[in-house]
Amino acid sequence: MGLIDRGFRRKKASRACIVFATPGALDGGGGIGRMTGYIVDAFQNSPAAPDTVVLDTRGTGSALLSPVYLAGTLARLGAMMLRHRPSVVHINVSENASVWRKAVVQLFAGLFSCPTVVHLHGASFMEYFDKGPVSRAISRWLFDRCGIALVLGESWRNFLVQSVGTDPHKVRVLYNAVPDIGADLPVRAAPPEGAIVSLLVLANLSERKGIGTLLRSCRLMKDQGFRFRVTIGGGGDVEGYRRMAAELGVDGECRFEGWISREQAHAHLRDHDMLLLPSTHEGLPMVILEALSTGMPVVTTPVGSIPEVLTDGETARIVPVNDPEALAHAVRDLAARPALYARLSAEGRRLFLEKFVIESYGRSLQDIYAELNRPDAVRRPSLGALPDAAAAKPSLTRAGRQ
């Protein structure tokens, strides 16, 4: 029992209410915020779906202000709890400081015995977990005390169960999903022979997203006489990569747009020829799913859950990590082979409709929320304080990482 749950009963309202604890809320949370926004939109369009409230746990400015945002989130959450309003707190977590902030949210929800879903999005969570006994202890505490843990693929499920030690009965695989932004588009055709091929990159600009590899591949393609233009949309180290493009002599081929809105991203996905995402670490990037929805062929790397859902030569082109030569070859080959381009476009669109439509995702989430509120739901262990760093236990023996 929680510390404040004696006499606490949730009112049977006509609509349940889900509280999302999300870094940066909808506008400043990157891929997590965009995914949350898609869920909220899908729920608003469904009469049977729950109400939603999105609380910002980090803010969009300096990291030094994140405790202020977190305190505000906890105050709002507490006020809602006292009104018996939330049915479930849906906690989105990545890695590093995000794990600590979300552990505090989990602790707070536990005080009111409110069920929680902890949704792991962090592409570098495995590396964070391996940093030392403190990161392992806080990660285990968080996933041990949630009601259900959501992950983006089987490799992440295996990691939680085998390395983190999470109860396998509470771990669910739920691939990301996006709206169908290509429903009204005609069948895509490969760029005409000799045309300038329009390439698209949508990501937070960093080495984790393979932006350096991308620019070096641009240099190779230019040297090979391939005609192309690259639109690069996203925040991060924009000026640093703009300088790198100039040093490599490809600044004329690369247009850096900085941060762009969801609507601008969708417009680019509808009118470019290929999406490139040569990342070194990923979960399951929504930009890939958005590209599939428009029939845009994707060139990416076999990291995170990407190889679980995409097949090289059938639904995408998959190239090795940190390999600009392979990336350049894949782009040129795809542009030169209309039949391959058409197959990736059609099969990618088919795969999207089969697995990644946001309406189906929303129904799966509602089933999970309903499961948490059943009398026989998987329950967390009795509430305990956050782990003492000095008493953090050594890591479990690694059973294997897929």
In tens digits, the chain (402 residues) has pLDDT values of 333 333 333 444 457 899 999 987 776 657 888 899 999 999 998 888 999 999 998 887 677 778 888 998 899 999 999 887 789 999 999 999 999 999 999 999 999 999 999 999 989 999 999 999 999 999 999 999 999 999 999 999 999 999 999 999 999 999 999 999 999 999 999 999 989 999 999 999 999 999 999 999 999 999 999 999 999 999 999 999 999 999 999 999 999 999 998 899 999 999 999 999 999 999 999 999 999 999 999 999 999 999 999 999 999 999 999 999 999 999 999 999 999 999 999 999 999 999 999 999 999 999 999 999 876 665 444 445 566 544 444 333 333 333
Q: E strands along 85-147, which residues?
A: 88-93, 116-120
User: How much is the pLDDT for 65?
Assistant: 78
Hey, what CATH topology would domain 17-177+358-391 get? Rossmann fold (3.40.50)
Q: What is the CATH number of domain 197-355?
A: 3.40.50.2000
What sign has the CA pseudo-torsion 163, 169, 171, 177? positive
Q: Which residues of 143-178 are buried (b: 16+ CB within 10 A; e: fewer)?
A: bbbbbbbbbbbebbbbbbbbbbebeeebbbebbbbb
Q: Where are the domains of the chain?
A: 17-177+358-391, 197-355
Cβ neighbour number for residue 111 with a 10 Å cutoff: 14
How many Cβ atoms from other residues are within 10 Å of residue 382's Cβ?
A: 9
pLDDT given for residue 77 in this prediction: 93
Is 135 in contact with 99 (CB distance < 8 Å)? yes
Q: What is the pLDDT of residue 377?
A: 60
Q: What's the CA gap between 42 and 49, in Å, rounded? A: 8
Report yes or no: 124 and 95 within 8 Å, Cβ to Cβ. Answer: yes
How far is Cα 136 from Cα 354, in angstroms, rounded to an integer?
A: 36
Query: Fold match between 17-177+358-391 and 197-355?
Result: yes
CA 211 vs CA 111, 177, 238, 254, 256: distances in Å: 44, 24, 10, 12, 12
Residue 294 near residue 187 (C-beta atoms within 8 A): no
DSSP reduced 3-state for 320: coil
Q: What is the pLDDT of residue 28?
A: 61
- What is the pLDDT, as a whole number, of residue 375? 63
